[in-house]
Structure 1
Amino acid sequence: MTPAPPQHAPETTAAPSRRAPEAPPAVATVLLARSADDAAETVTALLAQSHLGDAPGAADRRQHTVLLVDASPSGLDVDAVLAPVREAGLPALSTRLDPRRGLRRSLPELVESLPTHAGRRDLVWVLTSRCRPRPDALHALVAAVSRGVVMATPKVVDVADEGVLVRQGLQVTRAGRLVPTPVCGERDQGQHDDSVDVLAGPLEGLLLDRDEYLALGGHDPALGDLGGDLDLGWRAQRCGHRVVAVPTAVLAVRPWPVERRPGLRHRAQARRVALARGPLWAAPVRALGGALLALLTSLALLLLKRPGLAREELALVRGSLDPRTLASLRRRGGRATVDRRELATLFVPTARARQRLADDIRGHHPGAGVGAPASGAEATGVLRSPVPLLLLAAVAMSAWAGRQITGELRHRFDAGLVGGELLGGRATSGSLLASWRDAWSGAGAGSGLERSPAVLLLAAASWVVEHVPGGGDADSPAGVALSLFVLAALPLGAVVAYRSARVVTTARWVRALLALGWISTPAAAAAAGEGRVGPLLAVVLLPRVAAGLVRAARRGLGISDAVRTALWAAVLGSLVPALAVPVLLVGVALLLLGRPGRRGRGVVLLALPLLLAGPWLLTLRAEPERLLAGWGATARGPLPEAWRLAAAAPGGPGEIPLWWYLPVALLALLGLLLARGPVPWVAGLVVVLGAAAAVGSPFVVLGEVPAGLADAGAEVHPWPGVGGLLVALGVLSLAGLGLAALPAATSWARRALQVLPVLVLAGGVVGSAALVADTGFGDELTTWRDDRPQIAVDAAEGPLAGRTLSLGRTDDGAITYRLVGREAPDLVRDLPAPLVDEGLSDDVAALLGVGPSGRTPVDAALGAWGVGFVTMHDPSSDDQVAVDATPGLRRLSTSAGTTTWSVRPESTGSTTPSRVRYVEGADGARNLVGLRDHSESTGVLRVPGQGRVVVGEPIGWTEHAVVTGDGAPLVLDTRSSVPTYAVPAGTRGVEIDVRTGHAAWKWLVLGSLVVGLYLALPTERRPDPQEDQ
């Protein structure tokens, strides 16, 4: 458009000149008006400028021209708006802005239409009707425009609170990433006043040199509004001019949303400017590289659940590939005299841009809190937080109570612990992964039962141990991982309980006392002293899961917290299945009775634990008694009296007189009486159900210990400590609710009475923790050592995959035995599974001379199982004589009380037997090598031709394994008592493959885990801390 002819323009004939330093510059104001009221306020602020009042006479006032640009949709009453200007004696002009053209496109024409002044430097001040400059703003800007400075930008603040910054110049990286500094909303404490030189400034409030602006060609309309402002300053810098920020010139505005956070359009414009002002020859490479990097960053942000930030990165992709940038590449505007490298200090460093992106990912506002009063928690400081003292007390209590355990581990740490509920054994991440993956798995002869997902978690922990320097040489990485958990469980449980207690009280020291009381309960101490891994995990996770269930029933929280709760519940349920049942019930209740928001959480709490359980659900359906068992969650033998069980005292190490817990019980009663809402009643219900579970555990028989194991025939009960943990959780929650429900103190006497219950809680908790530490966890746990000689270990882990038969006798003389191979054993006692090693018990009895010999010699029978060694700890003389007299067995050595015999059957040519043999004819047999867990071959087993392949596994193994010869399935001989396959003539190789159990289902488990972990990432919205109250 062509601007409307200016009205009342004074005549000027002299050529412009800026070479008279004795004359002050002449200033003209271009005011873009969008509404009459706002324009009138801006005119009032303009006339209040001290720079105009400093003029010595009317002639100087008339040199400040005001050009009103009408940009309103329906047109303004220009005369009414400019009336105060004319009354003040300032020249006033007006024009109409074409709606199809923006201010930046028309500004060169508007500037050219302004009068010039001979002997003076002509400056143009650009304002809009939302600008409210302080009275000294123009004076400060004019003073800053010295020789070499062609643009001066003010400090922009919020008109509603002028102590809040909006912007101060434009800040970008060299690659064109906007990094506003200061951030809109940051408190102004002068922290940015030392930033003088800037790359560019926004057009609003900008004071610019008329001649240099026109020489630069004005704004580039192809780059947009912010892009045009940034490009103008960038080109001015390249031409040897300066752009400065003037912190003493303050301009107040009502911030736009794009000023609070740059929009997608502005981000794309900044990237286009960076490409346009870069080297022409490098533009294609920079464009493609920048687009690829922004695209990868966007995908990463999507994975981190930051869709808003991902869209901003996609805007950079769009800016990099925008074809309109080609037109701006040719627009240079002025002669570049400054090398690009000399402008490096004007750009935001890449490290600061990365830090800003990291802050955005965490949801941290860089300007939040700068100059603002700190919150109560922050103002108190880290040193006043009870967490360090709580952690110190928990570590001290756990270390002193477990002094016997740590003393044992100091001598040998690389094999883990044994004793109590820990069984010990060699296990690596690979063997544990195979036991979860394969359809036939488990120690000894194995079984077809699906394993708990806890095996997969232990495999992951073992992998970490193996990759720690020195951890790969450990005898049992899984045993080391379990030992570390047993040692760290109570301190870790204290920290988790402290954080989780926010749902019952916000008082930090009360939460610390509740957390210390949680880990010093009899059930927690007994679990640590007996190595009960499942209950110890409950000590760590049960408060978190309970707090998550409480939050899931409240309003205002997103789905992420419910997903995290479901994940922790799935982990806890994989070791102690009974504790996952309440989570599923809460999920059902929210799904059926909750509002729409809560129904989504109910679906998560119900579906995710079941999805992550996977095929293990089939084992629980086939043996439902396992729902009440778990890793270390079973008990054998006599249990304490019912009243002690109801008081959450399951018996075992670390138990102290129960009257020490009486103060906490009294406070729990206070909470039940004073606290309001459903939470105290739910906590009371948890106490009742936990006490019922503990008292009823002696009456629930899950099964009997099978023959061949220690305590054969003994009844197996649920461990009452699981119910005891529920009782302790409910009682401590009620105590915290009771303290939180006390009325606010209005006098010193009431304040003293209010402190009294806290002191009672502190006395009971600290006293009980001290007594638990002094009593100790006992000496049931000690370091595990493999009773097999190294030659037997090498045979098991070598290509023969040999086994060792470990024999023993109980105090009453009963024989115990187990097959030990390369498979991962059960490291923690659970509900025992029946032995599936058909006929092996008869062979053991014949070996020790207490049973008749079968049709197959004992050495041949043992060789058929791949048993190459027999061990027995402290054998009696009769047992030694019986084993020594067995053909094919030869005593090797006795070490640490364990005697070892080698098994060299005549059927295998008196060599160490393998689990898989090739039998040719009636007599000839030879070992096939290249095996791993449960006789699975590592490759092709070469065979000479027609014959039979005999596998040392139970018959049930054949339902889960495939044996092929040259790729064709071999026929199973159903008349044989061991898996035997006929090999047709001409067969050159045999392969044995143990199938993956329910492969599709397990892939679904892994997929659900990945999705769950993704959904568990915190969302961009942070919940209000008051929502927990």
Structure 2
Amino acid sequence: MPREVSTVVPPRSRQVLSRGAPVLRTAPVLAVLVCHDGAQWLRLALSALRHSTPRPRHIIAVDTGSSDETATVLAAAAQGADRILDGVITLDRDTGFSDAVHAAVDHAVQRWGDPGGWIWLLHDDSAPDPECLATLLLAAEMSPSAGVLGPLAVEWQDPRLVIEAGLSTDASGHRQTGIGPSEVDWNALGRTADDGRRFEQSTEVLAVSSAGMLIRREVWERLGGFDRAIPMMREDIDFGWRVNRAGQVVLCVPAARIRHVRAAARDLRGVDARSVVGPSPRAIDRAHGLRTFLVNCSTLSFLIGVPRLATLCLLRALGFAMQRRLAESQAELRAVGYLLGGGARLRAARAARSATAGRGSVRGLFTSRLTRFRNAVRGVLSTMVRRRVAADAALGRLPDPGVVWTPPEAGQAPRIPLGPDGLPAGALGRPKRAGLRRPSDAIAVPVAVPDDVPGGLRPSPRPRPSPVPRDGSGPEPAGDLMLVHVNRGAVLRQIALSPPLLLVLGLIALAVVVNSARWGNDLAGGRLLPVGDLGQTWADYVATWHGVAGGTAAPAPAALAVVGTLGALFAPLGGPPAAVAFLFLADLPLAGLAAYVATRRAPVRRWVRALLALGYALLPPATAAVAQGRLDVVVVHVLLPLVVSGIASLLVRRRTSAGGRAWLSTAAGTALGIAVIGAFAPLVHLVIVVVALAGFVLVPGNGTRRGAALFLLVLMPLALLLPWPAVVIQHPAVVLHGVGTLIENQAASVTELLTLHAGGPGAWPYVGGAIVLAVLAGLLIRPHRSALPGLAFALLGVLAVALVRVVAATPLGATEPAHGWAGAPMLIVGWGLLWAMLGLCRTDPTAARSPLARPAAVVGVLILAALVANAMIPGREGPLREGGGMALPNTVVHELADTRRSVLVSATDGPVRQIAARAPRFGDDDYAPTPAAPLRLADLDADLRAADSPTVRSAVVRAAAGGVLFVVPPDRVAGEQLRRLAGELVADAPETSDGRPVLRLQPAAGSAALLSPELARAAVTGGEPPTRLDAGGVVPVDAAPPSVAVRVSDGPQGRLLVVAAEEEPGWQATVDGKQAAIVRAWGHLVAIVIPTREAEVRIEQPTALRSVLLLTQGAVVLFILLTAIPGRREDD
């Protein structure tokens, strides 16, 4: 019996009636509604079908084994006088969408014979507008060549947002919609799109979504319908491609609208359909996307595409895994297995398509790489605009009226298309291929519009379609949208004039001026020794024994690992020396950018943040640190704001209580930054740990994530630095002095310390006092509790400065206590003060403008100008230079490497260095020497400078016995005296790069030597080596520590094998594989008694423990690096 239909005549039908055409109550259409666990959307989908004008002739629902209320809802809709369904087919739960549609069409043909000339496909999570079907049929009537038509898909909860306007694919099998982020439906907003992007004209596309797809039944039968090998996802693109190849047209008709949830793609319901790939929606979509491209492309594209796509999927899987996007990574791997494992059945599918292919072409309907790149750039710009508008709205500021779309009455009505332009695509034959639309230049940003916003900036008060039922039964309505026109020129101008870009460019220009005398990739001088190349740096770090200060088995400083890692990144530019030079030369822009990024969550205007970041970059301790070659302070200057910001973000409750893993990457990245700071400045590391512990105690919060974050922040840096923390604990002086060569620090007065001047060249005294006074003035004028965290942090810095000022400690390799340099803790004070100033500059939209705002801005500019002058004038001074410091001549360096013997370098403002097999370089002064080595070297240096010949000659032979081949006196006068008093025991060698003399020691010696019984007795009983060159009794051995292996022949009893290495625990000796006792020779060297018979003798330092520690450290570093990589933002 016929069904009752609504007699309400839609506007489009009224237009048709005005031309004398009858109104269709039903249309020759078979509607197929496929349902699977979609009861929450099904009722609205059925209601949309009920209000459709006209209704389809037959409506069949297919339930694929739903486990919710779907079956009940469908049964109710198929019964009664007002039923909407003509039948319900129930299939197994693992039935895919393609099989469900085939089953419905076959059932309809068997039941009615001719169910209609069209097939209309619907999902249970889609709801077409009442005029959707009528509009599609009208477009089909005007376009006889159209075989498939589809509506414009809009968001389910907010129909103002467009989600699909036709479909396409690219050469990598990715689904393309041609819709930009937050693209709006202008018709729903009642506004005029003046950029020509309004959705009106039908467009020929590669495919349309199966939700709302209208198919000629003749085309369906001729092509065999959907590919059953694609149970779901991409069946629409595959079918559209085949329709185009068959010579038909696929049209997107934007005048027709359908709301779509996209439940499966958005993981709102599970996937139970049978699939070779598995149940993962991402894997199914990716695998079917690859198959769709490969089975429909040309033969050449297929042959090239299989290996290309397999390689691409593997690379993408690796990239996703590094970002901890494991679901996407697994999807790529499963897609590769699907292609290469035979599950895709590519050859059979290509043969089937060749049988149905006509003369049609799909040229122009694909998404090219250029289009993808253009869309990606547009997406980046749109994201920037959205975040900018959202941030400004949070500060109570909306965009300028010029970039906000005006109400419709303010513009002219859109021009009505006339002539051929007014006809739908395909009405005059096959239309010009346009493919997907380019994304609109306008985006929508949901914001809360304040009440006091001018009327021109408020959303239009005109009535507009409600995104949800007005009776309150639906979800909460979407918020107001701020429509922003993304004009490329305007966006580029905003980027070019944006505060962060101007900040970085200005600091780069300033750095060029300040460092004009330092340009180069091999800086040295001051507290920076020359940096070794990549191989040397890593060899020093992984070595068990180091030929420094006579030899030590102490762990290498962790700073070498950091420099080596950065050097690997700078390998094409020069390795570690280039990396260290970059840190010094780019300290200003790096620190300024770090400070700006660290304040990104503060409710402060961007130009205020930029000015505060500029002040931080120009802090006097930082400019002095660069001038004096203090790498430890430079590293702190760059990383301190980011580390403190990371800790602060973890203290905020929402960062550790919200879903997702953003807190984990933040905690891991912060822990990595703390570890890097701890490798160079343990005192700052200690302060940061205190801040973290105090913050987690004082700031309220709970949950396991806070505890895990605290664990990562406190303990993980120690694991990353292993075994360096053990050295710091054994030698607390490292905490006060940091990492770097020892130089005489110029002490600063208390007044200078109070004005942020740490002493030494590179900064004027008292300039930094302006920052202190500015913060104090701000506290008096506009006190706010937001300044308390910064003040507390600055107070901790003051305590650290006092500790460095009051406590004197003996540095590594030195013999006398000394005070450290206060630059690093003073940066804590400076950042704390600027942090407090940031809190005082918080934007309050409800507060009136202060009359002191303009004078305060002027004073701030004057302070910054003074800091700029402080960086440009005294900042250019200092000992750090390209090729600075002392460099040994090449002949000396080569001879040291060949003989593995040592060079003894005297210094007037630092420790005495004894370096084996090479010249001194960065990190040598940070090894923990044996307890007696510093004093021994100091006494040896004093004896070499003595004024009497016997003392000098005795010192020369003692140095030679310890493996020294060359001696570098501190100046020419000392060199002349040593040459005169030592006589034939020394000889001239080429001078150093800074003009210092170099003397060669002539006594017979080596890095390992065999002593006669007479000399052996003297060596072990406290005697001294003979001072005559012809004394004999010493046979140099071609071996060097830490692993000495020699075979000795028969000889007299009492011989001794002496190794030029400081005797310390850990040395092991064997004679013919049996353990032998280590004895001490010449008071400090490693030695072993040689038997009278022929034997194989070995002396070595074990490496097993060091290897285990390195492997552990490498595993921790790999874990923290992978964890620190941020995943996809949750709002994306």
Question: Normalising by the residue count of structure 2, what TM-score does the alignment of the two structures yield?
Answer: 0.72
Q: How does 1:572-583 map to 2 (within 5 A)?
A: 572-583=677-688
**Once the 2 structures are TM-superposed, how far is the Cα of residue 400 of structure 1 from its aligned partner?**
4.2
Aligned 8 A contact 1:525 1:772 in 2: yes
- Superposition pairs of residues 615-764 of structure 1, within 5 angstroms: 615-631=723-739, 636=744, 639-656=747-764, 658=766, 661-662=769-770, 665-671=773-779, 674=782, 676-677=784-785, 679-703=786-810, 713=816, 715-740=817-842, 744=846, 746=848, 750=849, 752-764=851-863
Q: Which amino acid aligns with 1:166?
A: I
Task: Work out the CA distance in 2 between the residues paired with 1:67 and 1:963.
Answer: 95
1:66 corresponds in structure 2 to 57
- Rounded Cα–Cα distance in structure 2 between residues aligned with 1:995 and 1:301: 37
In structure 2, the CA distance between the partners of 1:771 and 1:564, relative to structure 1 (3 Å rule), is same
Q: 1:244 to 1:500 in 2, by over 3 A?
A: same
SS in 2 for 1:73: helix
CA distance in 1: counterparts of 2:908 and 2:1108, whole angstroms: 44
How far apart, in 1, do the equivalents of 2:1099 and 2:1012 lie?
A: 18
Aligned to 1:371, which of 423, 435, 443?
Answer: 443
| Structure 1 residues 920 and 633: alpha-carbon distance in aligned structure 2, compared to 1, 3 A threshold | closer
Distance 1:430 1:784, change over 3 A: same
Structure-1 separation of matches of 2:349 and 2:828: 75
CA distance in 1, matches of 2:485, 2:219: 50
Query: Residue 623 of structure 1: CA displacement?
Result: 1.8
Q: Does 1:862 align with 2:959?
A: yes
Q: Write the distance in 2 (CA, Å) between the matches of 1:334 and 1:464.
A: 50
Per-residue deviation, residues 414-454 of structure 1 (Å, max 9, x unmatched): 652213x33x3463333333333333326341333333311
Cα distance in 2 between the residues matched to 1:340 and 1:580 = 71
Counterpart residue number, 2:321: 302
2:1061 equivalent to 1:972 = no
- TM-superposed deviation, 1:1015: 0.9
CA change 1:287–1:761 in 2 (3 A) is closer
Helix, strand or coil at the partner of 2:678? helix
Q: Which residue of 2 aligns with 1:806?
A: 905
Matched ranges for 1:901-912 at <5 A = 901-905=999-1003, 907=1004
Kindly indicate whether residue 884 of structure 2 is the aligned counterpart of residue 784 of structure 1.
yes
CA distance in 2, matches of 1:339, 1:993: 79
What does 1:872-891 correspond to in 2, within 5 Å?
872-876=969-973, 879-880=976-977, 883=980, 885-891=982-988
Q: 1:360 to 1:315 in 2, by over 3 A?
A: farther
Residue equivalent to 2:164: 167
Separation in 2, partners of 1:498, 1:1005: 32
1:882 Cα deviation after fit: 5.0
CA distance in 2, matches of 1:175, 1:483: 42
Structure 1, 194-203 or 896-905: larger mean CA deviation: 194-203
Q: Does 2:137 match 1:155?
A: no
Find the counterpart in structure 1 of residue 669 from structure 2.
564
* Partner SS state of residue 703, structure 1: coil
Question: What is the Cα deviation at residue 890 of structure 1?
Answer: 2.4
In 2: Cα distance, 1:740 partner to 1:169 partner: 46
Query: CA offsets per residue over residues 87-119 of structure 1, 9 Å max, x none?
Result: xxxxxx9344344582332214425765769xx
Give the AA of the match of 1:754.
A
Q: Could you tell me how far apart the structure 1 residues matched to 2:540 and 2:918 are?
A: 11
C-alpha distance in 2, partners of 1:601/1:726?
Answer: 22
Cα 1:142–1:103 change in 2 (3 A) is same
Is the 1:846–1:853 Cα contact (8 Å) retained in structure 2?
no
CA contact (8 A) 1:140 1:248 kept: no
Shift, 1:607, TM fit: 1.4
Is structure 2 residue 259 aligned with structure 1 residue 253?
A: yes
One-letter amino acid matched to 2:829: V
User: How many percent identity over aligned positions?
Assistant: 21
Q: Matched residue of 2:71: which SS?
A: coil
Q: Please provide the CA RMSD for this pair.
A: 4.8
Tell me the residue number matched to 1:104.
Answer: 102
Match of 2:541 in 1: 436
1:45 matches 2:37? no
Which amino acid in 1 is paired with 2:967?
V
CA distance in 1 between counterparts of 2:502 and 2:301 reads 58
Do the aligned partners of residues 279 and 521 (structure 1) sit closer, same or farther apart at CA in structure 2, a change above 3 Å counting?
closer
Long gaps (5+) in structure 1:
9-22, 49-64, 86-92, 472-476, 908-912, 1025-1029
C-alpha displacement of 1:541? 1.6
**Preserved CA contact (<8 Å) 2:667 2:713:** yes
Q: Does 1:213 align with 2:220?
A: yes
Distance in 2 (alpha carbons) for counterparts of 1:775 and 1:242: 77
Are the structure 2 counterparts of residues 350 and 835 from structure 1 closer, same or farther at C-alpha, using a change threshold of 3 Å? Answer: farther
Per the alignment, in what secondary structure is the counterpart of residue 586 of structure 2?
helix
State the partner residue of 2:503: 390
Letter of the structure 1 residue corresponding to residue 28 of structure 2: A
CA positional deviation for 1:499: 1.8
What is the CA deviation profile of residues 266-301 of structure 1, one whole-angstrom value per residue up to 9, with x for unaligned ones?
Answer: 444445555666899999999899678646643441
- Counterpart code for 1:861: R
Q: Does 1:224 align with 2:330?
A: no
Residue 880 of structure 2 aligns to which amino acid in structure 1?
L
CA contact (8 A) 1:970 1:983 kept: no
Letter in 2 for 1:164: L
Tell me the secondary structure at the aligned position of residue 106 of structure 1: helix
How far apart are residue 544 of structure 1 and its match?
1.7
Q: 1:122 to 1:391 in 2, by over 3 A?
A: closer
Deviations 1:647-682 (A, max 9, x none): 3222333444637744653444534784555x5223
Structure 2 equivalent of residue 497 of structure 1: 595
Q: Which segment is superposed worse, 563-572 or 586-595?
A: 586-595
For residues 470-525 of structure 1, the C-alpha deviation after alignment (integer angstroms, 9 at most, x for no partner) is x3xxxxx6555434422222332122112223355521121122122223333223
1:1014 is aligned, of 1103, 1122, 1126, to 1122
User: CA separation of 1:806/1:161 partners in 2, compared to 1, >3 Å: closer, same or farther?
Assistant: closer
- 1:336 partner SS: helix
Code of the aligned partner of 2:503: L
How far did residue 125 of structure 1 move?
4.3
C-alpha deviation, 1:626, in angstroms: 2.2
Q: CA deviation at 1:572?
A: 1.0
Q: Distance in 2 between matches of 1:828 and 1:192?
A: 70
Deviation of the 1:753 alpha carbon: 3.7
| CA drift at 1:387 | 2.4
1:336 is aligned, of 348, 355, 358, to 355
2:562 to 457, 460, 481: 457
Structure 1 residue 381 corresponds to structure 2 residue 494: yes
> Is 1:533 equivalent to 2:617 in the alignment?
no
**How far 1:966 sits from its partner (Å)?**
7.4
**1:621-645 deviations in Å (ceiling 9; x for gaps):** 2122322220259885663332332
Given candidates 1044, 1061, 1069, the residue that maps to 1:954 is: 1061
CA–CA separation in structure 2 for the residues paired with 1:734 and 1:521 = 15
CA displacement at 1:794 relative to structure 2: 1.0
How far has the Cα of 1:767 moved from its partner?
2.7
C-alpha distance in 2 between matches for 1:535 and 1:281: 59
1:468 aligns to what? 572
Normalising by structure 1, report the TM-score. Answer: 0.78
Aligned equivalents of 1:161 and 1:731: distance in 2?
46
How far did residue 1013 of structure 1 move?
0.9
Where does structure 2 lack aligned partners over 5 or more consecutive residues? 5-20, 36-41, 63-69, 186-195, 268-280, 387-437, 445-482, 656-662, 1015-1031
Code of the residue aligned with 1:258 in structure 2: it is A
How much has 1:696 moved relative to structure 2?
4.9
CA distance in 1, matches of 2:533, 2:728: 26
Distance 1:380 1:853, change over 3 A: same
Alpha carbons 1:237, 1:243 under 8 Å: kept: yes
The residue that corresponds to 1:51 in the other structure is none
Partner of 1:55: none
